[in-house]
């Protein structure tokens, strides 16, 4: 490159830079005027717009997520109960496993599950990889044996090829779970109206939803349902204020909650606080799926966690706020 | 065995020793590397464990609004522990207790803590849940509880919140007590009532807080830290032993090498004796010795140099005179020492030594005497090893301790190594980035073209430098100064790249901080006057474009000065912070709340087009700010007066709007405070009036418009005038006699109080000196000192000078100070008061009982007189609290040896009450109002007031 042309290109670069800098300044100035400064120090955080994703693993995981070979009689897959198009649930009280067996707890959504600090209602799995193994061998869910699953997958050359490309150790229970985990990592709902509101766009949610949010804080709901997932980062007793379970109505082992994991009396009827991110779309509610509507769930929460009968209007406002928490189902990284 | 075979055997052995040395050397570096890496990991575990404690403390003090950060800490800690356990397996070492059990203990302790953390989260959430709910429910329902219960509930909530912030034993008792009272109220109210529910919440919150304190105590036990520290200690010990061991091995191997040479020498000696016979062996030996990598020389039985190899020659090539056959061993050694060829000789235990030559060469030297006579000299060149060792050490230290981040990538651009500074800056630990590409740091701010150019440049020149934006693990984007260097192998193919970068955020941050300090108030974190003006200008411009209305609210706290004076400045500051917080909670981010000065706040509301909405906001402000404040355990109340003005209706410039809002605020004050007022044009006159008064006040001192009046203080027992209190009056030609309440605050605000106070002191002392000296009256004078005056000038010097100038007998002067001066507990104040006291001047406390009345400062400060505030005296005849308090103050003062003046005595009844209780002095209209000095003298001459005269000598 001759010296003259070098100087010329430097000059162009310089102009380009100043244009960029100027427009940055301009955008900043705009944002002060329009007031799109993000809300800070709020108990709820927006879901990040981008994540690091291993797309090869995620792609393989997606295939496995929909793979019926994982079940004992090749009838169901993960997606049977966690329907991505239905906000990651199946809408039933408790899901149906192989041979028509009905489970005891309500299938939670897989959407945004990467933000939960532990998995399952009682938090018995530390992460999604550990969780992904659970249902495969659960006799009333997929009812399989790992050796069989691996053997079935190995018969499919495309699986063998895909695993060998990614994992040194090929197809193992660990790599199957890892791939599914990587797929589930992509399942986040971003840019919800409420997240937009948090990012400083005041008009992103309605007046009713704003009212709902402030009630959500005033009533103290936000003490447990906070953080990026609006829940999913702590344990709390169901019936913290007024006992929800009595000896009479404790029917299921699952009703004992975290006690099943720790055998500590303090954990009796204690559950992972569920995320409210897509709660508006994942009826029925609670660990046993015993409550049909969001409004009833809010009433029960007020009754048993607060000892308070909430007014019709407040209930509706809070429900409207919860609606605003659901974003687009988008696979980040795509 | 033949000598030649033996020599070959010895050489094979020697080669083995050398190979072993290198192997050991290589192993040493990699093992020590692994050890120090493991140590780093352990230190990280320690850090995260500490972070966990910090998180817990923050959550327990209700300072965390969500638990995501805490969860992140727990997750990181668990990942770190796992990789540490893995790294420990690779260290084979017998320690007590074994490494396995040490990491098990750490895991056990940390898991215990994690389970405590889970309990803590649940309890904190419950307590907060109840607190939030209580605020709401008390606001909405407290009127249904009944008057007494409602007040009690409010007090209970205050106590509870105080206990939550400072869970002390004392607060616990207090809170428990009040909850008990409330429970009795609730039982009276029947079964299912709102109060019962609120009470239950208070109890839940109270229990939760106790539990939180317990959990926190448990969490703060040092067990986990102890376990981690123990592991760190063990690893450091291993590191030290390992280093010693390798050094020992190296030394041993050198010894073996020397021993082999000695054996060689023996064989050689034999060979010299029989060289005629075995010429062939000689040749073989010479070749062998020549091919050795060590230096070797042989001195014959006559100690003369017989033979040396070329390596030996090389080692001594710069020796003066060089090597000659037949030179004596003694000369050889002496020349080395005398010419300075030998710089350093470190003798070793086996008789050999390590020598450093002038050329910078290190060698292991050994001179061994032969049985058959003669010496074998062996020199092993250690220079390269020494250098390598030093460089390795140096490089490792630089790498570990540099403040620049360093990252080494291999030819496939995978990260191989990073240093601690890298982790500090990017937030990624070593384990998280090894094997990844530097792309994980990419911020997305630069396009592909940018990186393409960078790589082109690197390919062509091998280096690149520049400012680049990268992304931390936390997602934060930051600027760094990056320089990349390529390392090539012998064939010129790029092998590795070293990236060096510094975070230049701090430079940018300090720019931001300077900006912050210039624009924000450090006490409340609110924008200051500066930024407020800028924002208002922006708001006005935007409103002009969009045809919007902007509302400007000027807020002034109603009794702030009183709170400051009675509770002290620290509490005053705390109150301002609370007020700022409450205001923040009322407004959205698009509105601006600023603190102008002192207790003045201002709010800009954009797009305030709806009048009724604005009025609603104003009502909210009043309501919100008059709720009780809990300041360090004291419940305090304040309210606010608000002046509101609108752009463009009332004004179009920043200054005119500010002036309007100020005027409207004064109107609100006039209307009885705790209210708001919209600006109307006639208000300007009011603001103008204050301004004019300020101007007039400035001139008043020079023009002699101030006068002093004196109010007698009567000795109750003798009914004579003991002293007088000097009181300033402003006699303005236009305004007439202006009451102090109107101009003293202005004087204090403008700083005029200092020269004014000086004048008052001089004048009062002058007047008193006159009646003492010229008229022989035994009457003192007391002068009020304002706190502000006290702090802004050298009071001690002024008092001393004034006494000298006026010749007033020292014991006739009393200085009156307010309690507020004492509560700050300023050692400077104490010192000045002692100095004044030591002069012989009396000190009295004015308005005693209205503020932070505390026995402790009465004992600490050199006070002689208490003045009971007139508000108590007003009520003494009605019995009840005032009478009881007055009696209490009187008996307390007696026990402390203090005299008491009762202020504001207006009736005979009050006089008698005080007389019966042995009060020392009385001041009030009952005897006389404050009068000019001439009137006072007149009254004494006319015997309307009795005075003692001094006995003239």
Encode pLDDT of B100-126 as tens digits. 888 899 999 999 999 999 999 999 898
What pLDDT score was predicted for residue B949? 83
A63 and A88 co-located in one domain: yes
- Mean pLDDT value of segment A147-171: 92
pLDDT in tens, B39-49: 888 888 888 88
Mean pLDDT of B584-589: 80
Structure confidence by residue, pLDDT tens digits, B545-575:
889 999 999 999 988 887 887 777 888 888 9
Q: Quick check: A217 and B475 CB within 8 A?
A: no
A141 is catalytic: yes
Instruction: Decide if B542 touches A, using CB distance below 8 A.
Output: yes
A233–B68 CB contact, under 8 Å: yes
Q: Which residues of B touch A226 (CB under 8 A)?
A: 65-68
DSSP secondary structure code for residue B817 in this structure: E
- Beta bridge pairs of residue B867: B901
Ranked by mean pLDDT, the top range of A318-322, B191-195, B423-427, B479-483 is A318-322
B782 located within any domain: yes
Higher-confidence position of A126 and B553: B553
Whether residue B554 sits in one domain with residue B424 = no
Q: A7 in a domain, yes or no?
A: no
Same domain, B230 and B186: yes
Please tell me if residue B71 touches chain A, with a CB cutoff of 8 Å. yes
* pLDDT tens for each residue of A2-16: 444 444 444 344 433
- The reply to whether B767 and B714 lie within a common domain is yes
Indicate whether A63 and A139 sit together in one domain: yes
Residue B736: inside a domain: yes
Rounded CA separation A59/B363 (Å): 63
Minimal Cα–Cα distance from B136 to chain A, Å? Answer: 6
pLDDT tens-digit map of B374-386: 888 888 888 888 7
Q: How would you label A321-331 residue by residue, b for 16+ Cβ within 10 Å and e otherwise?
A: bbbbbbbebeb
**Are both A195 and A325 inside the same structural domain?**
yes
Does B440 contact A at CB distance below 8 Å?
Answer: yes
Distance from CA of A327 to the nearest CA of B (A): 20
Is B654 within the bounds of a domain? Answer: yes
Running DSSP on this structure, what letter comes out for residue B168?
-
Q: Phi and psi of A39, rounded to 5°?
A: -75, 130
What local confidence, expressed as pLDDT, does residue B187 receive? 78
Which whole-number Å values give the CA distances from B434 to B89, B396, B397, in the listed order?
20, 18, 20
Question: Are A223 and B197 a contacting pair at CB < 8 A?
Answer: no
Residue B234: DSSP 8-state: H
**Residue where a domain terminates, one of A148, A172, A188:** A188
Of residues B188 and B798, more confidence is placed in: B798
- B736 with B652, same domain: the answer is no
> What is the phi/psi pair of residue B535, to 5°?
-65, -40
Q: Please give the average per-residue pLDDT across B922-928, as a whole number.
A: 92
- Do B719 and B675 reside in the same domain of the chain? no
Runs of H (alpha helix) within B361-434: 383-401, 420-426, 430-433
Tallying the residues shown for chain B, one arrives at: 953
CATH number at residue B894: 3.20.20.450
pLDDT over threshold 70, residue B387: yes
Each residue's pLDDT tens digit, A185-213? 999 998 899 999 999 888 899 999 999 99
- What is the C-alpha to C-alpha distance for residues B484 and B463, in angstroms, rounded to an integer? 5
In this structure, the number of other CB atoms found within 10 A of the CB of residue B658 comes to 20
Co-location of B657 and B758 in the same domain: no
Average pLDDT, chain B: 84
Which chain B residues are within 8 Å of A45, Cβ to Cβ? 66, 68
Does a structural domain hold residue A243? yes
A216, A93: one domain? no
What proportion of chain B, given as a percentage, has pLDDT over 90?
17
Q: Are residues A95 and A149 in the same domain?
A: yes
Nearest to B932 by CA among B717, B731, B641: B731
Measure the N-to-C terminal CA separation of chain B; round to a whole number of Å: 134
- What residues of chain B, 168 to 207, have a C-beta less than 8 Å from chain A? 197, 200-201, 204
* pLDDT tens-digit series, residues A306-317: 888 889 899 999
Q: What pLDDT shows up at residue B198? A: 85
- CATH number for the domain including A237? 1.10.760.10
**Within 13 Å, how many C-alpha atoms sit on residue A309's CB side?**
3
Distance CA B682, CA B406 (A): 70
More confident residue, B21 or B49: B49
For residue A11, tell me if it sits in a domain.
Answer: no
Question: Which of these three, B637, B655, B681, is where a domain ends?
Answer: B681
The overall average pLDDT reported for chain A is 83
Residue A76 lies inside a defined structural domain of this protein:
yes
Tens-digit pLDDT profile for residues B63-101: 788 999 999 999 999 999 988 888 888 877 667 678 888
| Better pLDDT: B898 or B14 | B898
Closest alpha carbon within chain A to B68 = A227
* pLDDT of res. A189: 92
Same domain, B409 and B500: yes
Of A39, A228, A305, the CB nearest to B589: A39
In this structure, are A131 and A209 located in the same domain?
no
In a domain? residue B432: yes
Residue where a domain stops, chosen among A159, A188, A217: A188
Q: Which of A44, A222, A240 sits opposite B126 (nearest CB)?
A: A240
Asked if residue B618 and residue B547 are part of one domain, the reply reads: yes
pLDDT at A231: 94
In this structure, the answer to whether residues B707 and B825 fall within a common structural domain is yes
Residues A315, A198: one domain? yes
- Domain hosting A162: range is 55-188
Residue A267 shares a structural domain with residue A318: yes
ipTM: 0.82
- Catalytic residue, chosen from A40, A62, A99, A141, is A141
3-state SS record for B604-661: EECCCCCHHHHHHHHHHHHHHHCCCEEECCEEECCCEEEEEEEECCCCCCHHHHHHHH
A80 domain residue, yes or no: yes
Which one of B653, B681, B709 terminates a domain?
A: B681
Q: Are residues A209 and A323 in the same domain?
A: yes
Residue scoring higher pLDDT (A31 or A77): A77
Structure confidence at residue B581 (pLDDT): 84
Q: Are residues A217 and A315 in the same domain?
A: yes
User: Of A264, A306, A310, which to mutate for an interface test with B (greatest number of B Cβ within 10 Å)?
Assistant: A306
Q: Give contacts of B588 with chain A, Cβ < 8 Å.
A: 35, 202
Report chain B residues whose CB lies below 8 A from the CB of A270: 122
- Does residue A280 sit within a domain? yes
Say whether A45 and B74 touch across the interface (CB within 8 A). no
Residue B837 falls inside a structural domain: yes
Same domain (yes/no): B583, B670 = yes
The predicted-structure confidence for B389-436, as pLDDT tens digits, reads as follows 777 777 777 777 777 888 989 888 899 888 888 988 888 988 889 888
- Among B204, B237, B270, residue at a domain's last position: B237
d(CA B820, CA B856): 14
A39–B122 CB contact, under 8 Å: no
Query: B458-472: per-residue pLDDT in tens?
Result: 888 888 888 888 888
Q: Which pLDDT does position A325 carry in this prediction?
A: 95
CATH number of B426's domain: 3.30.450.20
The pLDDT value recorded for residue A181 is 93
Residue A59: is it exposed, middle or buried by C-beta count within 10 angstroms (0-12/13-18/19+)?
middle
Whole-number pLDDT of residue A154: 93
Say whether residue A265 is in contact with chain B using an 8 A CB cutoff.
no
How, if at all, do strands B865-868 and B550-557 pair? unpaired
What pLDDT was estimated at residue B951? 60
Task: Name which residue leads in pLDDT, B951 or B12.
Answer: B12
Q: How far is B704 from chain A (nearest CA, A)?
A: 54
Residues A163 and A261 in one domain: no
Residues A272 and A316 occupy one common structural domain: yes
Residue A47 lies in a domain: no
What is the predicted pLDDT for the residue at B376? 85
Q: Quick check: B67 and A266 CB within 8 A?
A: no
Number of domains in chain B: 4
User: Which of A122, A234, A270 would you mutate first to test chain B, the one with the most B CBs within 10 A?
Assistant: A234
User: Does residue B765 have a pLDDT over 90?
Assistant: yes
| Structural domain for B220, as ranges | 3-237
Higher pLDDT, A303 or A247: A303
Answer whether B662's CB lies under 8 Å from B656's CB.
Answer: no
User: How far apart, in whole angstroms, are the C-alpha atoms of residue A324 and residue A318?
Assistant: 10
Residue B953 forms part of a structural domain: no
Contacts of B128 in chain A (CB under 8 A): 220, 223
3-state secondary structure of A93: coil
**A33-85 pLDDT per residue, tens:** 344 678 888 999 999 888 778 889 999 999 999 999 998 888 889 998 898 88
CATH code, domain with B584: 3.30.70.270
pLDDT band at B511 (very low <50, low <70, confident <90, very high): low
Confidence class for position A32, pLDDT limits 50, 70, 90: very low
The H-or-E segment that residue B703 falls in is: helix B683-703
Mutate to test the interface with A, among B55, B59, B67, B519 (most CBs of A within 10 A): B67
Whether residue B124 lies inside any domain: the answer is yes
Query: Residue B56: its pLDDT value, please?
Result: 87
Task: Examine the domain organization and report whether B492 and B531 are in the same domain.
Answer: no
For residues B389-428, one letter each, b for 16 or more C-beta atoms within 10 angstroms of the residue's C-beta and e for the rest, the string is eeeeeeeeeebeeeebbbbbbeeeeebebbbbbbbebbeb
Strand order in the sheet with B640-647: B592-597, B600-605, B550-557, B640-647, B676-678
Residue B437 shares a structural domain with residue B543: no
* Burial (0-12, 13-18, 19+ Cβ within 10 Å), B230: middle
Residue finishing a domain among A136, A171, A188: A188
Task: Report how many domains make up chain A.
Answer: 2
Q: Is the pLDDT reported for residue A334 higher than 60?
A: no
Tell me the average pLDDT across B839-853.
Answer: 80
Mean pLDDT within B533-547 = 90
Residue A40 lies in a domain: no
Would you say residue B453 has pLDDT above 90?
Answer: no
Is the pLDDT at B663 greater than 90, yes or no? no
pLDDT > 70 in chain B, percent: 94
């Amino acid at each position: 490159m001759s010296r003259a042309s070098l100087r010329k290109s430097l000059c162009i670069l310089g102009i380009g830079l100043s244009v960029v800098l100027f427009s940055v300044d301009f955008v900043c100035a705009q944002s002060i005027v329009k007031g799109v400064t993000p809300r800070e120090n709020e108990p709820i955080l927006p879901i990040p717009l981008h994540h690091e994703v291993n797309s090869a693993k995620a792609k393989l995981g997606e295939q496995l997520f929909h793979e019926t070979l994982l079940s004992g009689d090749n009838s169901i897959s993960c997606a049977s109960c966690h329907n991505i198009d239905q906000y990651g649930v199946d809408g039933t009280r408790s899901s149906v496993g192989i041979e028509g067996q009905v489970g005891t707890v309500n299938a939670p959504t897989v959407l945004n599950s990467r933000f939960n600090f532990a998995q399952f209602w009682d938090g018995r799995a530390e992460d999604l990889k550990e969780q992904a193994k659970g249902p495969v061998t659960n006799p009333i869910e997929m009812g399989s044996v790992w050796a069989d699953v691996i053997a079935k997958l190995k018969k499919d050359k495309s699986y063998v090829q895909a695993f060998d490309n990614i994992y040194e150790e090929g197809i193992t229970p660990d790599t199957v779970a890892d791939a599914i985990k990587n797929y589930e990592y992509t399942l986040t709902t971003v840019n919800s109206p409420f997240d937009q509101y948090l990012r400083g766009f005041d008009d992103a949610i309605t007046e009713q939803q704003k009212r709902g949010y402030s009630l959500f804080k005033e009533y103290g709901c936000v003490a447990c349902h906070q953080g990026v997932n609006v829940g999913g980062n702590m344990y709390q007793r169901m019936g913290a204020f007024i006992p929800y379970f009595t000896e009479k109505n404790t029917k299921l082992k699952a009703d004992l909650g975290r006690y099943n994991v720790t055998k500590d009396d303090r954990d009796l009827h204690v559950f992972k606080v569920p995320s409210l991110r897509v709660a508006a779309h994942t009826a029925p509610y609670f660990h046993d799926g015993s409550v049909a509507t969001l409004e009833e769930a809010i009433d029960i929460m007020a009754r048993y966690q607060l000892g308070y009968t909430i007014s019709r209007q407040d209930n509706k406002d809070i429900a409207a706020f919860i609606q605003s928490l659901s974003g687009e189902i988008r696979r980040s990284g795509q | 065995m033949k000598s030649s075979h033996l020599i070959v055997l010895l050489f094979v052995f020697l080669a083995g020793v050398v190979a072993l040395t290198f192997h050991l050397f290589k192993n040493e570096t990699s093992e020590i590397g692994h050890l120090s890496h493991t140590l780093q990991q352990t230190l990280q575990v320690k850090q995260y464990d500490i972070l966990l404690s910090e998180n817990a403390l923050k959550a327990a003090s209700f300072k965390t609004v969500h638990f995501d950060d805490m969860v992140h800490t727990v997750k990181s800690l668990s990942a770190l522990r796992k990789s540490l356990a893995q790294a420990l397996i690779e260290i084979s070492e017998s320690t007590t207790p074994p490494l396995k059990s040490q990491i098990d203990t750490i895991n056990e302790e940390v898991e215990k803590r994690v389970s405590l953390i889970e309990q803590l989260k649940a309890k904190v959430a419950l307590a907060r849940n109840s607190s939030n709910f209580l605020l709401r429910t008390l606001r909405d329902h407290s009127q249904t509880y009944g008057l007494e219960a409602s007040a009690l509930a409010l007090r209970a909530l205050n106590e509870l919140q105080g206990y939550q912030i400072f869970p002390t034993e004392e607060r616990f008792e207090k809170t428990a007590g009040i909850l008990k009272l409330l429970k009795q109220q609730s039982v009276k109210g029947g079964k299912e009532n709102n109060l019962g529910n609120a009470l239950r919440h208070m109890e839940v919150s109270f229990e939760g807080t106790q539990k939180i304190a317990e959990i926190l105590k448990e969490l703060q036990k040092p067990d986990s830290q102890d376990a981690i520290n123990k592991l760190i200690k063990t690893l450091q010990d291993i590191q030290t032993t390992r280093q010693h061991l390798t050094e020992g091995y190296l030394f041993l191997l050198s010894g073996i090498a020397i021993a082999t040479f000695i054996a060689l020498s023996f064989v050689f000696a034999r060979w010299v004796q029989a060289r005629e016979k075995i010429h062939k062996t000689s040749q073989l030996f010479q070749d062998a010795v020549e091919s050795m990598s060590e230096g070797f020389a042989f001195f014959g039985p006559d100690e003369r140099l017989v033979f040396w190899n070329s390596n030996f020659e090389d080692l001594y090539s710069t020796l003066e005179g060089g090597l000659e056959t037949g030179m004596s061993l003694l000369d050889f050694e002496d020349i080395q020492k005398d010419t300075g060829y030998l710089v350093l000789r470190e003798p070793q235990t086996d008789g050999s030594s390590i020598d450093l030559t002038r050329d910078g060469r290190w060698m292991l030297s050994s001179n061994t005497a032969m049985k058959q006579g003669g010496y074998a000299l062996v020199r092993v060149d250690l220079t390269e090893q020494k250098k390598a060792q030093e460089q390795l050490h140096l490089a490792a230290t630089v790498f570990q301790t540099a403040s620049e981040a360093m990252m080494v990538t291999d030819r496939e651009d995978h990260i191989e190594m990073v240093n601690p500074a890298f982790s500090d800056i990017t937030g990624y630990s070593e384990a998280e980035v090894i094997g990844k590409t530097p792309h994980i740091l990419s911020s997305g701010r630069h396009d592909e073209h940018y990186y393409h150019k960078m790589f082109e440049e690197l390919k062509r020149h091998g280096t690149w430098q520049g400012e680049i934006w990268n992304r931390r693990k936390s997602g934060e984007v930051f600027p760094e100064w990056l320089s990349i260097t390529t390392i090539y192998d012998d064939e010129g193919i790029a092998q590795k790249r070293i990236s060096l970068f510094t975070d230049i955020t701090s430079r940018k941050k300090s720019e931001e901080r300077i900006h912050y300090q210039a624009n924000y108030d450090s006490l409340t974190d609110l924008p200051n006057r500066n930024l407020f003006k800028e924002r208002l200008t922006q708001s006005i411009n935007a409103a002009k474009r969009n045809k919007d209305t902007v509302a400007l609210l000027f807020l002034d706290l109603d009794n702030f000065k009183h709170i400051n004076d009675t509770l002290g400045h620290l509490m005053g500051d705390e109150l301002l912070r609370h007020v700022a917080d409450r205001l923040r909670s009322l407004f959205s981010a698009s509105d601006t709340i600023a603190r102008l000065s002192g207790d003045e706040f201002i709010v800009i509301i954009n797009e305030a087009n709806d009048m009724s909405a604005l009025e609603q906001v104003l009502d909210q402000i009043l309501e919100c700010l008059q709720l009780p404040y809990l300041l360090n355990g004291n419940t305090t109340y304040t309210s606010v007066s608000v002046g509101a003005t609108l752009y463009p209706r009332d004004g179009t410039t920043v200054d005119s709007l500010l002036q309007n809002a100020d005027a409207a605020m004064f109107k609100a004050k006039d209307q009885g405070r705790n209210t708001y007022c919209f600006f109307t044009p006639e208000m300007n006159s009011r603001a103008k009036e204050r301004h004019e008064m300020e101007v007039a006040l400035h001139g008043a001192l020079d023009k002699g418009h101030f006068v002093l009046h004196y109010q007698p203080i009567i000795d109750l027992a003798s009914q004579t005038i003991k002293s007088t209190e000097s009181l300033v009056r402003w006699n303005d030609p236009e305004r007439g006699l202006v009451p102090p309440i109107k101009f003293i605050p202005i004087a204090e605000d403008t700083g005029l109080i200092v020269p004014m106070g000086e004048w008052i002191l001089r004048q009062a002392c002058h007047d008193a000196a006159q009646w003492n000296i010229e008229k022989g009256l035994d009457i003192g004078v007391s002068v009020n000192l304002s706190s502000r005056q006290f702090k802004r000038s050298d009071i001690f010097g002024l008092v001393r000078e004034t006494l000298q100038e006026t010749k007033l007998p020292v014991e006739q002067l009393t200085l009156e100070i307010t309690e507020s001066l004492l509560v700050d507990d300023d050692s400077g104040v104490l010192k000045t008061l002692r100095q004044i006291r030591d002069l012989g001047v009396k000190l009295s406390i004015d308005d005693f009982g209205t503020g932070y009345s505390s026995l402790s400062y009465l004992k600490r400060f050199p006070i002689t007189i208490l003045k009971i505030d007139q508000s108590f005296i007003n009520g003494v005849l009605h019995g009840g609290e005032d009478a009881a308090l007055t009696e209490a103050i009187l008996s307390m003062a007696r026990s402390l040896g203090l005299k008491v003046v009762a202020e504001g005595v207006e009736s005979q009844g009050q006089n008698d009450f005080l007389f019966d209780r042995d009060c020392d002095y009385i001041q009030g209209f009952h005897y006389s109002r404050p009068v000019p000095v001439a009137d006072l003298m007149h009254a004494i001459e006319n015997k309307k007031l009795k005075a003692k005269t001094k006995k003239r000598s």
